[in-house]
Amino acid sequence: MVLTKYTPMMQQYLRIKAEVPDAFLFFRLGDFYEMFFDDALKASKELEITLTARGGNKEDKIPMCGVPYHSAAAYIEKLIDKGYKVALCEQTEDPKHAKGVVKREIVQMITPGTAVTTVNDRENHFLGSAVQLNGERYSIAYLDLSTGESKASVVESEDLLLQEMSLIKAKEIILPASVSEKLIGKFRDRGITSISKVEQEELFFDETLLSLLEGEEVKRGISLLLHYTTDTQKRALDHLQQTEQYEVSAYLQIDPNSKRNLELTENNRSGAKKGSLVWLLDETVTAMGSRQLKSWVERPLINQSDIKERLGLVESLKNHFFERESLRELLQNVYDLERLAGRVAFGSISPRDLVQLKKSLQQVPFIKEQLKEIPDNGLIKRADEMDACIDLADLLDAAIDDQAPITIKDGNFIKDGYSEELDQYKDASRNGKKWIAELEQKERSITGIKSLKIGYNRIFGYYIEITKANLTSLNDDRYERRQTLANAERYITPELKEKETLILEAEEKSVELEQQIFQVVREHVKQEIPRIQQLAKEISEIDVLQSFAFVSEKRHYVKPVFSKTKQLDIQEGRHPVIEKVMNMNEYVPNSCKMDKERSMLLITGPNMSGKSTFMRQIALISVMAQMGCFVPADYAELPVFDRIFTRIGAADDLVSGQSTFMVEMLEAKHALEHATDNSLILFDEIGRGTSTYDGMSLAQAIIEYVHDSIKAKTLFSTHYHELVELSSKLKRLKNIHVAAAEQDGKVVFLHKVKEGPADKSYGIHVAELAELPPSLINRANELLTLFEAEKEAGESREQMTLFDITEKTAVDESAVLKEIQELNVLEMTPMEAMNELYKLQKKAGKLLAESK
C-alpha cells in the first residue's frame, strides 16, 4: 500500500494497524474510536453500526465507522465474545503541544483470554498456553488475568494437553509460531477457537513469579504466557501471583467426555449450570468461593490424607449449626478480594472498590473468632494463620468515606480528619458556600425582592439573578451588570467576586489534593496485594467447606470412609442432582457392592428403568467423596479412584462428522488405553450403534478385555440379554438388573436394582408409553409372540414360517426375517419404527402375492 497517497493522520493509522493485523484497531480521534478500511467493513456488520466514508473523490473514499469513547466497552465486549481481538490506540501527547499529527500508540490489546472487565464473578477466565518439548510432551500453563492466579505443568501426551485445556475452558490458547495446523485443528474441534501464535519464543524468567516451579521444562509454557500477557496489556501486572506447579496425576482424572456425561459443571441439555453437580453443591456465599468450588469439582483429590482432612473440617462445620450460620452471615459481607486486588494492580480501582475492600477486611477478625468457636484443631489452625490485614483495614477506614462515589473526578471521598491541608480547603469551600447562602438572604431583605437568587455556572461563575419584573425595585448603582437574559438580569459585586475566587480555588485544590491522596492510598494497597490474595485463598476454601457442610446437613448426606482393600459398598445411595430435582421422599435409593471377587457388574433392564441413573450415581458419589464432601447414601465405603471413564448416551458428534458408533468406539478406546485397576469405568449400551451381532460381539469382547486385562471396577449396562451368560465364565462378573413389573398389561418401572439378570426387556411396553399407534403396538406384540414361540420350539430362523408362502419365495422370506432380526427396535424413534414396519409390510404383501 502506497502511504504517500494518504493524509499524514491516515499514514499514522496504517503504520499502527500493521502492528496488529489480526485485531480491530480502535483509533482514538477526539471523542470517538474510529476504524477504517477492512476493519470498518467487518466491524460495521459485527456491531451493526453505520458504515460511512472518509476522503475526497469517489475513488479515494475510505470505509469508516466509529463508536463513542465513553460507551466503547459494550462494543469491545461484543467483539471479544465473538472471538475477535481489539487493540486500543490512544493519543499519547497533548494536542496543544503537538507538532503535526498528534502522537498515538497502542496502549492495550484486549483478547478473549485477557478481557477482565466483563468476566463472570463466579467463574474463572483462563488464558492457556502450550509449548512442545519432545515427542508428545508439552509444557502447559494457564492464567486468570482478573485474579492473578496461574498454574503450570508438564503433560506426557497430546491427549492430556487437549484434556487440560478443555477442562479449564480456556478462552484463548497461546502457542509458538511453529505449532502445527493439525494441533490447532484439534483445539478448534474442542471448542477453543481463539488461538494466538507468538513469533517471539524467548523465555520470560521472572524469578518472583516462577520461584515455585522446579526445572526448566515446566517454565516454558508459563514463560510464553507471561511474555504474551505483558506484551499485550502494556500496563502494571503487579497482582500476578506465583505460578503453582501441579501434576495431572495428583488429582482424580476425568476426561472432558466423562465430565460432560456426568454433568459435573453444566447440564447436557442446555449447557447451563442448573442441573449439574456444581449447581447442587454451590451454597457458597462469596464469588471467590464459588470459583474455588468449581475447581474442586473438576479436580477431586487422590491423596487419602488430604481427602480425610477436608472431610474432617466439613464434619465439624456440619455438626455446629449456629457457628456455621454465623460464619455464613459474616461471609455475606466479604467482596471478591481476588478481583479487587486485580483492579488495584491495573490502576482501575475506584473509591467505592476500596470501601468494599475495607468492609471485607473488617469481617476477617470476626470470621477468625467464629472459626475458633468450633472445637476443631484444623479450623482453629486456619483461623490462627489467617492474616486479617488490620493495618490495611484501619488505613482505608481512616482515609475513604463510606459514601464514596464510583469515580474520583468529583472528589468528596476522603474522610474529614485524614489530611489537615485537605480539611482547610474543604472548610474554605463549605464556609464560602455558607457565606453565599447568607448573602442571598441579606440581599433579599435589603432589596425586598423575594425571588432574588444567587446562582453559579462554569462560564460566568457566581452571580445575582433578578427577574425583569423586579428590576424597578432595584437601585441602579447597587450591582454591576454581568449578563442579560430574556427574562432576567444577572449581576455581581466586588465582594461576591472575591468570595468566588476563594471558593473555586478551594474546590479546585480540594479535588486535586483528594486525587493525590487517593493515589498514595492506592499505592499502599498495591504493596499489600500478596497479603490480600493469600487471605482470599483462605476465605474461599472456608467458604467451600461450609458450603459442603450446609448441603450435607440439608440433604442428609453421610461421611464416606475409604477402603484399604479397594471395596466399594454403597448402601441406599442416591443420585444427588436428580434427588434434589425430585421430591426427596419419592426418590428410590439403590445399593451397590463391589470387591475383589465382584469387580464387574453387568446391568440389564428395560430402557427408562434407571440403569444410566444408577451408574452415574456411583460415579458422582465417588467424585463427591474425593472432593472431601459428604455423600448421598446411608453408608458409603469407597476405594480411592485414580480415573473415571464413562460412555453414556448416544449422540452423533456432528462437529467432527463422527457417527454414534464411532464416538462409542473412540471413547471405549480411550478408557481401555488409560484405565488401571484403580479406575472406575461406566459403559452404557456399548455396541448399540451397529448391527446386532457386531454390537453383541464387540460388547462381549470389551467385557472380557476389561475383566482379564484391566481389572478396573466396571459397570456395564446392556440390552443384549445373551451377555448375561458371561457370569458363568468370568469369575468377577456378576449380573444385576433394574426391576420392572407388569400391572394390568402395563409396565411399571420400580427403579430398584436387584441381583441377577432381567427376565425380559419390556421394549414394547416402553414403545406403548411413548404412545406409538395402537395398531403398530398390536403388530409388534404379534411378532414378539411368534419369535418367542420359534425360540421355544428350537427351530432355526431359516425354518421358521412367518408367512404362508411357497418354496419359491423361501430365499426372499429369509432375507425379510434377517432384516427383522437385525432391527434395533428398542433404540428406534417412533417415526423410525413406523417407517421400518411400513417397509416390511410392503415386502410381506409382495411375498404373499407371489405365493398365490
- 126-132/138-144 β-pairing: antiparallel
Dist CA 635 CA 571 (whole Å)? 5
Dist CA 16 CA 87 (whole Å)? 10
Dist CA 568 CA 615 (whole Å)? 13
Query: Which residue's entry shows cell 472459626?
Result: 371
Dist CA 350 CA 356 (whole Å)? 10
Residue/partner pairs of 394-398 with CB below 8 Å, 24 or more apart: 395/521, 395/524, 396/354, 396/355, 396/357, 396/358, 396/361, 396/521, 396/525, 397/358, 397/362
- Segment holding 29, helix H or strand E: strand 24-29
Nearest partner of 704 among 747, 733, 682, 677, judged by Cα: 733
Residue 787: exposure state from Cβ atoms within 10 A (0-12, 13-18, ≥19): middle
Which DSSP string corresponds to 41-105?
A: HHHHHHTT---EEESSSGGG-EEEEEEEGGGHHHHHHHHHHTT--EEEEEE-S-GGG-SSSPPEE
Question: CB of 610 within 8 A of CB of 742?
Answer: no
Annotation-wise, does 44 bind a ligand? no
Annotation-wise, does 608 bind a ligand? yes
Question: CB of 69 within 8 A of CB of 31?
Answer: yes
Strand runs labelled E in 485-621: 488-492, 561-562, 568-573, 590-594, 600-604
Dist CA 435 CA 87 (whole Å)? 51
Residue/partner pairs of 620-623 with CB below 8 Å, 24 or more apart: 620/262, 620/277, 620/575, 620/576, 620/577, 621/560, 621/570, 621/573, 621/576, 622/680, 623/252, 623/254, 623/262, 623/264, 623/277, 623/297, 623/300
The 746-755 sheet, strands edge to edge: 253-254, 643-647, 680-684, 713-717, 600-604, 733-743, 746-755
- How many whole angstroms from its chain centre is CA 617? 23
Q: What are phi and psi of 592, to 5 degrees?
A: -150, 130
Annotation-wise, does 455 bind a ligand? no
Burial annotation 158-182 (CB, 10 A radius, 16+ → b, else e): bebbbbbbbbbbbbbbbbbeebeee
- How many whole angstroms from its chain centre is CA 119? 10
List the grid coordinates of 255. 476426561
Annotation-wise, does 605 bind a ligand? yes
Annotation-wise, does 709 bind a ligand? no
What's the N-to-C CA distance of the chain in angstroms? 84
Nearest partner of 620 among 651, 576, 660, 590, judged by Cα: 576
Nearest partner of 717 among 824, 611, 592, judged by Cα: 611
- 488-492/24-29 β-pairing: unpaired
Q: Is 14 helix (H, G, I), strand (E, B) or coil?
A: helix
Annotation-wise, does 611 bind a ligand? yes
Q: What are phi and psi of 732, to 5 degrees?
A: -100, 5
Residue 784: exposure state from Cβ atoms within 10 A (0-12, 13-18, ≥19): middle
Dist CA 279 CA 289 (whole Å)? 13
Q: What is the DSSP letter of 655?
A: T
Give the amino acid at 49. I
- 733-743/600-604 β-pairing: parallel
Nearest partner of 619 among 87, 265, 302, 263, judged by Cα: 263
Q: Which residues are annotated as a binding site for ATP?
A: 605-612
Residues within the annotated binding site?
605-612
